[in-house]
Structure 1
Amino acid sequence: MSPRLNGEEPDRLYTVTGGRSRVDESPLDIVTLIVSESGPEPGMQSEHARILEICAGPLSVVEISAELGLPVTIVKILLIDLLDTGHVTARSPLPALRRSQLPDLEILKQVLIGLQKL
């Protein structure tokens, strides 16, 4: 019996990604929001088509992964394919915060202590 990853045969995952197994320096993280810019095209790989269908509204990379039942790394590879062809756009869910905009760590600690006492 061959090993499985998230219920998928390793050979299938290899085929889905065209043999690519890593996403080096990917601009995507698990909370990056993905939105379709077009619908599926005839002859398109089924996983790519499914991503375009489910991303009519913004979905995070991790939500897409859960919806497809594929590991996040595999989904990132598929998303990069779609980004490269302009089929999807990606955006950060929140603007980058400056350190001065972050809550005070001491206040957060006090809130946590208060919650634990409840």
Structure 2
Amino acid sequence: MRHLVGLVVQILAFLNIFVKMLPDNILFVPTILIAIAGTIKYGERTRALYLASVENLKELMVKSLRFHPSSNVTRPQGTATQSNIGNEEETHRGRLKTAFHYFQIFKGLVIDMMPEH
């Protein structure tokens, strides 16, 4: 909310200055283009910060079909065990699948949801 208020204040300040210099403004088009680019950039940052908030993350994870707080932790098929970790046949894709699987399980820790063991 603080960044959204900052965005509105900066847009109002720009409009105030722009209107005052409008009669003598020979750089009208570049000024408008820079203002649009700055507004988009500030808006993107504000939206990214909103989407990265813990409250929004919790809401998205609860709605997600992939994350179930009551699901059991299981090893995905085709993943490494202690006996074959050094095996050279294990592919990079398999490691990524394993990492993503455990990421999906333990990302709930960020929002205070504990997976069942």
Q: Same fold (TM over 0.5)?
A: no
Please give the TM-score of this superposition, normalised by the length of structure 1: 0.22
User: Which is greater in Rg?
Assistant: 2
- From the two aligned structures, give the one with the greater helix fraction: 2
Please give the TM-score of this superposition, normalised by the length of structure 2: 0.22
